[in-house]
Amino acid sequence: MKTQDSADLCYPHLYNNSCKKPTSLWTEVVLVQIILSVISLITVALNLLVIISVSHFRELHTPTNILLLSLAVSDLLVGFISMPGEIYRNTSCWFLGDNICFIYIYLCFIITAASVGNMVLISIDRYVAICDPLHYQTRVTGRRVKVCICLCWLCSIVYCIIFVKDDLIQVGKNNSCYGECVTTVDIIVGTFDLFITFIAPITIIIVLYMRVFVVAVSQARAMRTQVTAVKLSLSVTTIAKKSELKAARTLGVLVLFFLLCFCPCYCLSLAGEDLFSSTTAFAVYYLFFFNSCINPMIYALFYPWIRKTAKLIVTLKILKPGSCEAQIL
């Protein structure tokens, strides 16, 4: 009987302390692994195109695109680290040891926090561009945006230490058996995180974009009136506003999909639902990861430059001398 049971354990030689292997049918496990692995590869490939595009072509080095670059980096890390890790962690035993488990969980927390921070920065950027266009060029500079992005990632690294503080003291403390990779968050830290990474960011994003939407609609109506008395003097400003409005619409779609993917997952966590206890909960959990695959698709749909740069990258034309100076916009 002991021999038969040991075959279902991750570490048969540690009979009393070993976790059991996942009980799902191997066909279901393989199917889930294949589907999620394909999504992971697509996420990495698409976001890598965005990163190379914005980094290589100088014409794309605008404050807004630098924010998109930071978001693409976090999305790339989701596809490269978070997705494969979750596939492995929840479809098989964890054989990589407690130290790798600690690093993986810590990185996942950092990536999530940075993604939320990037979305807040994008919302602030659009708010200033639409609601205060005359001061946008002076207030939102490339250097300031880079500083904000660095602070966003640095704050995420420091902030997420509170989630892994127990593992810092004793690695693998939260694992109930060998072959498991989990972490626990006490109620005080969870309540604090609820405000910092959910309530506060979502409130800021919604309030800013409601304001952006109201101003954008009023500006669009003003443009359609075509007041001839000021048409000549405001022609340059009007063109600039049109480009900013287009960017606001595009990034508004980006933020909308982020909220649609982020909120259900977080709400399930707040309700105390085990994210792997049911098919629905499992799908909602991976919906948040899938958002990282959707983002570059939104860029390709609304930004012609991403389609143009993707073609140059795939055909290796970016390897030609002076390709970084190419006219993209």
Q: Does the pLDDT of residue 246 top 90, yes or no?
A: no
Which contiguous run of DSSP H or E holds residue 43? helix 26-56
pLDDT at 55: 93
The CA distance from 29 to 107, in Å, is 25
pLDDT-based confidence at residue 303 (cuts at 50, 70, 90): confident
Number of Cβ atoms within 10 Å of the Cβ of 109 = 22
Beta-carbon contacts of 103 under 8 Å, excluding residues fewer than 6 positions away, are: none
Residue type, 155: C
Confidence of residue 47 (pLDDT cuts 50, 70, 90): very high
Q: Is 9 a residue whose pLDDT tops 60? A: yes
Long-range contacts, 84-89 (Cβ 8 Å, 24+): 84/37, 84/40, 86/36, 86/286, 86/289, 87/32, 87/33, 87/36, 87/37, 87/40, 89/181
Whether 32 shows a pLDDT value over 80: the answer reads no
**Which pLDDT score is estimated for 273?**
53
The amino acid at residue 71 is: L
Both tokens of 131, joined, read 């609601």
Check if the beta carbon of residue 15 is closer than 8 Å to that of residue 9.
yes
Q: What is the average per-residue pLDDT within 44-57?
A: 93
Position of tokens 């035993």? 93
Question: 1.10.260.40, 1.10.645.10, 3.40.50.2300, 1.20.1070.10: which CATH number matches 24-325?
Answer: 1.20.1070.10
Task: Compute the mean pLDDT over every residue in the chain, rounded to the nearest whole number.
Answer: 80
Whether the model clears a pTM of 0.75, i.e. scores above it, the answer is yes
Could you tell me the residue ranges of all domains in the chain? 24-325
pLDDT, mean of residues 65-91: 91
